[in-house]
Structure 1
Amino acid sequence: MYKISEFAKLTGLSKETLRYYAEVKLLEPAYIDPKNNYRYYDDGSIFLATLLTKLRKIGFTIQEMISVMEDESFANLETLLIQKKRNILQQIHDLQLQVEEIDGFLASGKEET
């Protein structure tokens, strides 16, 4: 079992993030000591923390992460990842169009001078 500070160092998540994740039922401690309210995490929590870190890095919202964690079989994770990828690719396309608009606008300004 790991105290919250040890678990934070081990996973790269801050103590504040771990407390928040526990509050929203995203990653709850394996054990809370009733005497002093210390939070303890186990080895199984490391996998979940790693998964949550990955999901955050690829842009999942807290609500999307909760949805993944509620589906303990992770059956819908692939579908969610594919949809997230589609959304990112669409955003990239939209941004490329904006860049082209800017380039066109700048080019037209140079032609007039």
Structure 2
Amino acid sequence: MYRIGQFSELTAITISSLRYYERIGLLLPDRVDSQNNYCYYDNNSYLKAILISGMKEMGFTLNEIKVLIVTQDDEALYLAMKTKQSDITAEIHRLREVLSTVEDYLSNYERDEENGLGTKD
């Protein structure tokens, strides 16, 4: 069992985030000492915390993560990740188009500057 500070260091999740996750029912301590209110987490909580961190990194909201983790439905998790993959792929495509537009503007600007057509006075 890990006390909250140890668990925080082990998972790279801040203590305030762990307390927030507890408040919203996302990641509950495995045991709370009734005398001192210390929170303790076990190895199963560690795996859950790593999953939560990974899903946050993928762009899932805490509410989405909670729904997927609470249901413990592997197929739902798989489908959610496939959807996220599709969303990320679409965003990459959109950003490539934006980058291309920026590069076109820069190229035109540089060409105009070389030809003395720039906007400088």
Q: TM-score, normalised by structure 1?
A: 0.90
Overall identity of the aligned pairs, in %: 30
CA positional deviation for 1:110 = 3.9
Gaps spanning 5+ residues in structure 1: where? none
User: Could you say what secondary structure the match of 2:74 adopts?
Assistant: coil
Match of 2:105 in 1: 105
1:42-81 per-position Cα deviation (integer Å, ceiling 9, x unaligned): 1211110111111112111111111111211332111011
Give the Cα separation in 1 of the matches to 2:2 and 2:68.
Answer: 24
- Root-mean-square deviation over aligned CA pairs: 1.4
CA positional deviation for 1:108 = 3.0
Give the Cα separation in 1 of the matches to 2:73 and 2:105.
Answer: 51
CA positional deviation for 1:111 = 4.3
Q: Does structure 1 residue 40 correspond to structure 2 residue 40?
A: yes
Give the Cα separation in 1 of the matches to 2:85 and 2:19.
Answer: 29
User: Could you say what secondary structure the match of 1:76 adopts?
Assistant: helix
Match of 1:74 in 2: 74
User: Could you say what secondary structure the match of 1:75 adopts?
Assistant: helix
Give the Cα separation in 2 of the matches to 1:103 and 1:42.
Answer: 51
User: Could you say what secondary structure the match of 1:40 adopts?
Assistant: strand
1:10-62 per-position Cα deviation (integer Å, ceiling 9, x unaligned): 22211111111111111000111222211111121111011111111211111
Alignment-mate amino acid for residue 24 of structure 1? I
Number of aligned positions between the proteins: 113
Gaps spanning 5+ residues in structure 2: where? none
Match of 2:3 in 1: 3
